[in-house]
């Protein structure tokens, strides 16, 4: 934890991704009455080789072995160094709005339970968990209730704060909405509050973030995608903010798709609004498209929209990097969350809003488990 005037929380991570949560954590620093509060990376785990390499090079270049790359189901949790802070953006594949909503019964759903094991093993003073909004409706809402109950009763027990954050309200130039759960050890008698939005009535336009990249080429991960002539021609008919379905295209450029028509197919950004959600997928016209140029976004443009700094270099193929960026937690929102946690421990008041998921917190212990 540190000396009398320095309180340093040692952070462990599961499903760490390329380091969005970690970057926000290590950038979070709070001072109160000459007492300094901060976080320090201790260890991290992810299954993807390129993702682990990105994390190592950017977050912990001096302790690369602290990133354990491999399947979490084979991870020896008891062998990990002690931590007093924990973060995990557990896989959302089975909780996403796009998909079959398998929830807790899917291949990925039960992986949250490894986070519960960490809480039971190390009893960290606090944890941060992140997931998609779809988690709240998986299995008709039962999966989320079970997850919350298990998190709240793990370790010494945790006071939970559950909130759906709209990232564009927090200075992120992207309409990205995620559930973030913060738990603080009940023995400490502290309660996390949702930090008040800072850009709710003045969202950051995407052009403010990526416009200067149009004529730059010497920045990491800024390679242009080679577009086919047909894609270039199709984009010429799509105006900023529009997609392939609500644009007037000649017959030969239309898509012959029946059933669900995803709104992000060949959808261009609108320069005067935040970007729509940057995702890890990229097939079938879902790369995200520039508002001015007839092309897909570069990975550096995506990274900026996700609030990664230009000196944060991603490793792996262009497709791997796109996936890493889309799956990452925005470092900016992560820093705001961690700074608010540090303020809670430091006894510093800050502007906050009420959680929009009080229902779950009030009903946690009335849950009837099935099965």
pLDDT (average), residues 322-344: 97
pLDDT tens-place string over residues 291-316: 999 999 999 999 999 999 999 999 99
Give the confidence band of 146 by pLDDT, cuts at 50, 70, 90. Answer: confident
pLDDT of residue 135: 78
Place of tokens 């009763």: 153
DSSP 46-62: ES-HHHHHHHHHHH-TT
More confident residue, 36 or 264: 36
Q: Would you state the CATH architecture of domain 6-202+330-366?
A: 3-Layer(aba) Sandwich (3.40)
Residue 22 to residue 146: CA distance in whole angstroms: 27
pLDDT of residue 100: 45
User: Residue 90 is encoded by which pair of tokens?
Assistant: 């557990």
pLDDT of residue 101: 42
Give the CB-side neighbour count of residue 186, counting CA atoms within 13 A: 11
Sign of CA dihedral 24, 30, 36, 37: negative
DSSP 101-164: --GGGSSSGGGHHHHHHHHHHH--SEEEEEEEGGGGTGGGGHHHHHHHHHHHHSTT-EEEEEEE
Helix (H, G, I), strand (E, B) or coil at 65: helix
Long-range contacts of residues 208-217, Cβ cutoff 8 Å, at least 24 apart:
208/173, 209/173, 209/304, 209/305, 210/297, 210/301, 210/304, 210/305, 211/271, 213/298, 213/300, 213/301, 213/304, 214/292, 214/293
Whether 51 shows a pLDDT value over 70: the answer reads yes
pLDDT tens-place string over residues 201-241: 999 999 999 999 998 989 999 999 889 999 999 999 999 99
pLDDT of residue 108: 41
Place of tokens 């709710």: 200
Averaged pLDDT of the chain:
88
pLDDT of residue 291: 97
Which of these is catalytic: 52, 60, 69, 92?
92
Which stretches of the chain are assigned E, i.e. beta strand?
A: 6-14, 29-32, 35-46, 67-69, 85-88, 126-132, 158-166, 177-185, 194-195, 352-353
Residue 52 is a catalytic residue: no
pLDDT tens-place string over residues 56-114: 999 999 999 999 999 998 999 999 999 999 999 876 544 433 344 443 444 444 678 89
Residues ≥6 apart with Cβ < 8 Å to 218: none
Residue 236 to residue 218: CA distance in whole angstroms: 27
Percent of the chain with pLDDT over 70: 88
pLDDT tens-place string over residues 174-190: 999 999 999 999 999 99
pLDDT tens-place string over residues 240-266: 999 988 888 888 888 877 655 667 788
Whether 139 shows a pLDDT value over 80: the answer reads no
Whether 272 shows a pLDDT value over 80: the answer reads yes
pLDDT of residue 147: 87
Whether 274 shows a pLDDT value over 70: the answer reads yes
Residues ≥6 apart with Cβ < 8 Å to 10: 1, 39, 40, 42, 81, 82, 83, 84, 85
pLDDT of residue 137: 75
pLDDT of residue 357: 78
Percent of the chain with pLDDT over 90: 71
pLDDT of residue 91: 66
Whether 14 shows a pLDDT value over 90: the answer reads yes
Distance of CA 173 to the CA centre of its chain: 14
Residues ≥6 apart with Cβ < 8 Å to 248: 237
Residue 198 to residue 211: CA distance in whole angstroms: 23
Helix (H, G, I), strand (E, B) or coil at 280: coil
CB 173 within 8 A of CB 129: no
pLDDT of residue 98: 36
pLDDT of residue 338: 98
pLDDT of residue 224: 93
pTM of the model: 0.91
Residue 183 to residue 147: CA distance in whole angstroms: 13
């Amino acid at each position: 934890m540190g000396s009398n005037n320095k309180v340093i929380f040692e952070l462990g991570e599961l499903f760490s991704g390329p380091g969005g949560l970690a970057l926000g954590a290590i950038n979070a620093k709070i001072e109160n009455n000459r007492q300094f509060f901060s976080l320090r990376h201790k260890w991290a785990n992810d299954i993807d080789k390129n993702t682990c390499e990105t994390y190592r090079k950017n977050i912990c270049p001096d302790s690369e072995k602290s990133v354990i790359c491999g399947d979490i189901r084979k991870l020896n949790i008891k062998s990990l160094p002690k931590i007093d802070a924990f973060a995990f953006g557990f896989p959302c594949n089975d909780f996403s709005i796009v998909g079959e909503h398998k929830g807790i019964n899917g291949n990925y759903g039960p992986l949250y339970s490894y986070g519960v094991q960490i809480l039971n093993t190390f009893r960290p003073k606090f944890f941060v968990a992140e997931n998609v909004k779809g988690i709240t409706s998986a299995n008709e809402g039962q999966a989320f209730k079970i997850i919350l109950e298990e998190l709240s009763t793990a370790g010494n027990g945790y006071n939970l704060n559950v909130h759906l954050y709209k990232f564009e309200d927090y200075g992120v130039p992207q309409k990205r909405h995620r559930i973030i759960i913060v738990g603080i050890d009940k023995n400490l008698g502290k309660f996390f509050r949702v930090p008040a939005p800072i850009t709710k009535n003045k969202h950051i336009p995407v052009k403010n973030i990526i416009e200067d990249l149009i004529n730059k080429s010497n920045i990491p991960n800024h390679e242009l995608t080679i577009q086919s002539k047909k894609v270039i021609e199709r984009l010429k008919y799509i105006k900023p903010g529009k997609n392939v379905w609500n644009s007037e295209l000649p017959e030969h450029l239309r898509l012959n798709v029946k059933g669900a028509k995803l709104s992000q197919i060949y959808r261009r950004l609108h320069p005067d609004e935040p970007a729509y959600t940057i995702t890890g997928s990229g097939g079938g016209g879902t790369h995200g498209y520039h508002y001015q140029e007839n092309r897909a976004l570069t990975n550096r443009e995506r990274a900026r929209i996700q609030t990664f700094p230009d000196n944060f270099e991603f490793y792996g193929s262009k497709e791997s990097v796109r996936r890493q960026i889309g799956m990452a937690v925005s470092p900016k929102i992560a820093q705001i969350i961690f700074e608010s946690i540090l303020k809670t421990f430091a006894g510093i008041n800050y502007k906050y809003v009420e959680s929009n998921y009080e229902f779950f917190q009030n009903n946690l212990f009335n849950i009837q488990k099935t099965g």
